[in-house]
Structure 1
């Protein structure tokens, strides 16, 4: 039989649904890219403050921490955090919807508007339940609305701003168009890859396009280097290990009849283990040295460490899985067979506290659904209520005073 608080929590989220959708659509219409989330942060600050929550902007003015009203927060309890990301991508939206992005060249194509509205819904529901005396036990929660997930340094900013102060566990979810709405996927242990930024600068000697023999052509060297990377990395790394090196940017000259003096390449390196990461970087450096000598150019390789792999805490993963199963039915909760090669800076939080990241089904039909980072990406908004319910219920389940860890925490607090 379902406990009354569970039914009441779901009903509270359902009553907030229109507000959740409204917030999501506003954010979708007015997206801000990484490192520019000032208006988004102030908008969230004002909406959360209007609900009576204790709200603070982090020092950069980009990112918000929201806690329960002071009258309803027990400082003796450990916190459980619910995290959302608020930044958008530099993509021109191609959807024809009333809430289409009004900012040219910027779009919420990774669902961060959804994540934000779901965390908002979850903490508002917990607040209403607390104020109405409907919670089965006290919950000391924190809503984290972080900037710059796409560039990988938003989570460290939140941590530096004491965003994890007293936090015992942190929960998050990510919309996933590979799963239909009403379904979720979890995975204890490694969920995502290490993701490092790769920059390659190839310098040669430019000249007239009619006389390439009088130049040291960096475009030719770049083409050969890219092909070598795509060919040789899979031959160096064990085929049973996962590694993906991709280039997404190539910038060179501006004139069709001039061989430029320099080419800039940008890409990413994605691996699941430190050993494979080190082998991959060593391979890239050897290839750069070899092709530089062969093409009479210089090839400089720079690696900027990005987000480490997300490692989902087993107990936190079991907790969010239980919450999802109670809401959706166990048959709609699957376990991912292998990690994703995508990156997620949620991993930084997991270096400091227990936590887990859930994949949330978000489309009516997966067959022809637009993927994340697509200009056509969109969701079935019924997923927003599901996500808010899972997050709120996870916070409650984790805060259950009968849990051994919580009993011990209370005993430590009570000790003289």
Structure 2
């Protein structure tokens, strides 16, 4: 019986698993934060060039785009896969041989895994094409995107026409709350929209011993945070999700000096555009109240707003079917409620249909290392699963009767 393309695919991925794993470890040991992924991008550019694919660098040398397919001049639209390449400003506290060598920077969100899986997709598609194993012509594009963590990279890549000719796009995110060998997804909203919230509180500085002579922006900041945390949820329907969190407070340099200004930075996350608008109105109302009782001036700026990831039904179905083939039907799980996390993959989905899925990466659920923590790590056997699912989805998306 002749070997099927899926058997050939799985054989290729098995043969290349060590290369994918080694790339992940290299990236983990040499992380770069958002906007300065220059060495990462050049490393990927060189590896992709060795595969013989058409490759170009992303904007300002960050990111890379690889193109390939069965027919160079085909009228087929491209099926895209996106992997993100940036790391976080977190100190790696692991003791593994591949722990970060860059102080204060680590891949704590799994982008090294996403990038390695995306590279594995390129490898597999190239070798399937060279061996003549593909069941029908395909055209594909794999996007290695910078600056996901700052929610700016997807928009930058889109501005360089990375979606021109693309008909569908797929992505994944590792999930340490799920066992390796499980994947999860849903059609429709999958993540929250996210607005970066920047509040500038301007008062009048003074001596710490005489606060009555100042307009204390630190006191105003404390009142503002407490009021927002209390009254924004109270003004929102209990069946609607809103999360407002501040992760940075900057103000003052001396313990005995009241500063002139304090800055607060955080995020606001919602699942509905109407809820988002009403929440912004409520924030402004709270601001006016705090200004009135503290005699300070408070300025609100919303930056780097991104929409919800909304998975297309047909694209979700392709991932679901591919997942069942790879891990079995019982290990493909429905996500019942959207996450309040955010993902700038949403930017692509505002232009073309696509889907993102969660890839289980925990060898032991009793020893989970959560995302965005100093000891985050993955079970590397999940890498191969991610490649198998994505390549199947790409090929299936090009099947003539589907198009």
Q: Does 1:367 align with 2:371?
A: no
Consecutive unaligned residues of structure 1, counting only runs of 5 or more, are 407-416
TM-score by length of 2: 0.98
Separation in 2, partners of 1:386, 1:74: 31
Contact 1:72–1:130, Cα closer than 8 Å, also in 2: no
- Partner residue, 2:282: 283
Runs of 4+ in 1 over 4 A off after TM superposition: none
Offset of 1:3 from its aligned partner?
7.8
Map 1:111-190 → 2, pairs under 5 A: 111-190=110-189
Give the paired residue count: 403
SS in 1 for 2:306: coil
What are the superposed Cα offsets for residues 338-359 of structure 1, whole Å, 9 maximum, x if unpaired?
Answer: 0001111101111111100000
- Partner residue, 1:322: 321
Contact 1:74–1:138, Cα closer than 8 Å, also in 2: no
- Partner residue, 1:51: 51
- Which 10-residue stretch deviates more, 105-114 or 57-66? 57-66
SS in 2 for 1:266: strand
Q: Does 1:220 align with 2:219?
A: yes
TM-score by length of 1: 0.95
Offset of 1:74 from its aligned partner?
4.6
Consecutive unaligned residues of structure 2, counting only runs of 5 or more, are none
- Which 10-residue stretch deviates more, 295-304 or 217-226? 295-304
Compared CA separation, residues 117 and 389, structure 1 to 2 (3 A): same
What are the superposed Cα offsets for residues 199-229 of structure 1, whole Å, 9 maximum, x if unpaired?
Answer: 1111111111111122111111110110000
Compared CA separation, residues 3 and 360, structure 1 to 2 (3 A): farther
SS in 1 for 2:80: strand
Separation in 2, partners of 1:115, 1:96: 22
What are the superposed Cα offsets for residues 115-152 of structure 1, whole Å, 9 maximum, x if unpaired?
Answer: 00001101211110110111111221111001111111
SS in 1 for 2:60: coil
Offset of 1:51 from its aligned partner?
1.1
Cα RMSD after superposing both structures: 1.4
- Partner residue, 1:63: 63
- Partner residue, 1:353: 352
SS in 2 for 1:367: helix
- Partner residue, 2:78: 79
- Partner residue, 1:410: none
Separation in 1, partners of 2:101, 2:217: 40
Offset of 1:43 from its aligned partner?
0.7
- Partner residue, 2:31: 31
What are the superposed Cα offsets for residues 304-326 of structure 1, whole Å, 9 maximum, x if unpaired?
Answer: 25111010000000100100111
SS in 2 for 1:95: coil
